Structure 1
Amino acid sequence: MSAVPANANAGCVGPQSDAAGKASACAGCPNQAACASGAAKQTDPSVAQVAARLADVKHTVLVLSGKGGVGKSTMACQLAFALASQGHQVGLLDVDICGPSVPRMLGLTGQEVHQSAAGWSPVYVEDNLGVMSIGFMLPGSDDAVIWRGPRKNGLIKQFLTDVDWGTLDYLVIDTPPGTSDEHISTIQYLKGCNVDGAVIVSTNQEVSLADVRKEINFCKKTSIKVLGVVGNMAALKFPVSQLAFRNAEGGDCTAEAMAALSAHAPHLLSMSVAADVFVAAEGGGAAGMAAKTGVPYLGPVPLDPNLLRACEEGRSFLEAYPMSAAAKPFAAIVDGVLKATGSAPGSWATK
């Protein structure tokens, strides 16, 4: 669980592992003799450096998911927006090195990181919402980051030791899917900090839940408290008045359908339609899985086009679309995070 040396072999188990110097991945590594002797089993000085840098951060929340494509970055970005809207000083750190989507979701594409005597300055969306991501350091938005683990770990260490966040109420950390190098390094470096726990994002189908169970086990093994599971994309909810209709040939017949509804069933126009896009797995989906694994369930978030639109626009969903289908459920999840971290619930303009 310690930081991997920059010159280590791929698959390094870390110098503080019981298998250090003995694992198959250690063969031929220049650090093998030192790791096998136990000389490398000492506290990483970076832990103290990170603790000093983040001493004025009151709460740290990790956003995790076992599987990609479940809306983890969406939840992280909108959680940061929501916390900032309640007057909290918020930082959002993107440690998804190979897939940095945070700059786009916060409307910061094309921004650059600036350096001062105090360190790297976050890019600010608002006065009380700062962001750091490798996405600000790439020549172009389509450039790929093709790095091995040690180089990723080195950048995460730099993010945690060099970024001048100042005083924060909340530091939200968006991580990549899985339980790999980025997660191990982040948790190792944060050992001396105020880490409240993790919000884990899942959808309802078993292919996602199987990976989330592994993520929960990862949290237990690394002593990270699970603040709760979010059941994202729980159902599609859409106002009837905003539906588009197609005929058998695929042509648009929305005007005709709306005219028929207005004439014969006008009460339907004030209703919403709902459909389970990701059918809940046997056992109750994300809610059932949370109950069985003994962790809190923060609630479901329906698949809402306006939530996706807010991320594309780089806007706060709760502020831009307070009457949308997912607004009230998402506000309840933010309140769950506030409660779990000892803060008062928010004041939301949702239905």
Structure 2
Amino acid sequence: MEQLAECPAESDLAGRASVCEGCPGQALCQSQGRIDPDQEMIDIRMNVIKHKILVMSGKGGVGKSTVGCMLAQVLASQSCKVGVVDLDICGPSIPKLLSVEDQVVVNTEYGWKTLLSPHNGIKVMSVEDQEKQVCLHVSKCILVNGLIKRFFKDTFWGKLDYLICDTPPGTSDEHLTAIKVLKNVRPDGAIIVTTSQGVSIATVRREVNFCRKMGVKILGLVVNMSTFVCPCCDELTNIFPEDEIEKLSEEQKIPILARIPIDTRVTACCEVGRNPVIEHPNSQAIKCMEQLVRSLFNVYK
């Protein structure tokens, strides 16, 4: 597979070289010029953020945004300065999960002021305006990619320990734009969220191939909804067979960072925008999220 070092995105051959054949970003590269005038400001904004993590999934419905938000909440509870940027422009769920639905983005002399979550002061940037989302659907290629760039270039993030980038399901223009604008600032890599059911595993393989072709390091897999926690006795019950996810991990040499169970108490908190890390710190799901954070710390060692 071609690596990012061989990608001619910054040359006259962008989208036209033989290596571009079959690349999902070929049309995007062909439509853009050689030098992006916004790149310098993007690099300035992002270079003061220590860790940039992409949260990805092969398909929708696996709880990617919920995992991304709980990751941010656990990090913030450990005194880290955390931001979450919602790149799922046409289907944002971060505002509800982090309880910033009623806030409005304000433009200041320093750039867009982030929304501020009551969950330990997590900074948030997202689109919640339903009318705007309809417009974005109409002219997606131009408006969505431009807005994602502005999330990185025009938002005054300040100094953060972690910026969690919640991406849409699959491999789309949103992913390509995010990878392109972050290329100079060395993002840590991607966490791929999945369930262990066969149909989800099949799409994860495509996500893995996409990341490797684009030169994005895969930090590991997070298996969501791996078990069900009984609300009465805390007994764990397997929902899907684990054989396929174990096989994928071994075959692709990708570690499984955590297995997150379904806990109805945590789910109820997320549904109304409350913080499960504070309200249910001893739940199995939160303990597994804390294990995910420890696994990430070990990756950085």
TM-score by length of 2: 0.86
Aligned twin of 1:301: 260
Return the letter of the residue paired with 2:186: N
* Larger Cα-atom Rg: 1
Tell me the alpha carbon deviations over residues 77-112 of structure 1, each in whole angstroms, 9 at most, x when there is no partner: 111111111111111000001110000001112211
Displacement of 1:216 after TM fit?
0.9
Cα distance change of structure 1 residues 304 and 184 upon mapping to structure 2, 3 Å threshold: same
Residues 182/15 of structure 1: CA separation in 2 closer, same or farther (3 Å cut): farther
Partner Cα separation in structure 1 for residue 236 and residue 161 of structure 2: 37
Matched ranges for 1:115-134 at <5 A? 115-126=107-118, 128-134=121-127
Q: C-alpha distance in 2, partners of 1:2/1:97?
A: 27
Structure-1 separation of matches of 2:45 and 2:89: 21
Q: Which amino acid aligns with 1:72?
A: K
| Number of the residue aligned with 1:97 | 89
List gaps (5 residues or longer) in structure 1. Answer: 4-13, 24-28, 242-270, 343-351
Contact kept? 2:87, 2:166, Cα under 8 Å: yes
Q: 1:279 aligns with which of 241, 245, 265?
A: 241
Determine the structure 2 residue equivalent to 1:263: none
Deviation at 1:339, TM superposition (A): 2.6
Contact kept in structure 2, 1:2 and 1:185, CA below 8 Å:
no
Question: 1:288 pairs with 227, 230, 247, which one?
Answer: 247
Alignment of 1:92-241 (within 5 A): 92-126=84-118, 128-135=121-128, 137-138=129-130, 145-146=136-137, 147-239=139-231, 241=232
Higher relative contact order (CA 8 A, sep 6+): 2
- Write out per-residue CA displacement over residues 26-71 of structure 1, whole angstroms, 9 at most, x where no aligned residue: xxx9x99xx69xxx76232333221112121111000000100001
Paired residue for 2:269? 310
Q: Structure 1 residues 101 and 2 mapped into 2: Cα distance closer, same or farther (>3 Å)?
A: farther
1:178 Cα offset (Å): 0.6
Q: How many residues in Structure 1 have an aligned counterpart in Structure 2?
A: 286
Question: Using the alignment, how far apart are the partners of 1:117 and 1:88 within structure 2?
Answer: 26
Please provide the CA RMSD for this pair: 2.8
State how far apart, in whole Å, the 1-side matches of 2:38 and 2:170 are. 24
Aligned-pair distance for 1:143?
6.3
Q: Distance in 2 between matches of 1:163 and 1:16?
A: 28
1:17 maps to which residue? 15
Report the AA paired with residue 15 of structure 2.
Answer: S
Q: Which runs of 5 or more structure 2 residues have no equivalent in the other structure?
A: 1-6, 22-26
TM-score normalised by the chain length of structure 1: 0.74
In structure 1, the residue matched to 2:24 is none
What SS does the aligned partner of 1:76 have? helix
